[in-house]
Amino acid sequence: MGKIWEDENRFRIWLDIEIVACEGQAKLGAIPHDAVDVIKSKANFDVRRILQIEEEVKHDVIA
């Protein structure tokens, strides 16, 4: 159960949700379909960097 809330898993799920949102926007014509492919190929995150930024700014980066 604890694995669900691990940083890597949380950020991966959030990224997956953002990609699905982009797919929906492309379907509606709000963004080009090609943009979704670019986003999918380049979207990534670094948990250590996220945590470092959150510590520096004293705020949740994802918020």
User: Is 40 a member of any domain?
Assistant: yes
Strands, E assignment, the chain: none
Give domain status of residue 21, yes or no.
no
What are 11-63's pLDDT values in tens digits?
Answer: 999 999 999 999 999 999 999 999 999 999 999 999 999 999 999 999 987 76
Question: By C-alpha distance, which of 3, 11, 4 is closest to 47?
Answer: 11
Q: In the chain, how many domains are there?
A: 1
Q: Is 42 a domain residue? A: yes
Return the pLDDT at 5: 83
Residue span of the structural domain in which 40 resides: 1-10+32-56
Distance CA 2, CA 44 (A): 23
Encoded amino acid at 22, one letter: C
Taken in order 63, 11, 45, 32, the sign of the CA dihedral is negative
Residue 1 has pLDDT above 80, yes or no: no
Say how far apart CA 30 and CA 52 lie, in whole Å.
33
pTM of the predicted model as reported, rounded to 2 decimal places = 0.82
Report the pLDDT value the prediction gives residue 33, as an integer from 0 to 100: 97
What is the pLDDT at residue 63?
67
Please give the residue that has the higher pLDDT: either 27 or 3: 27
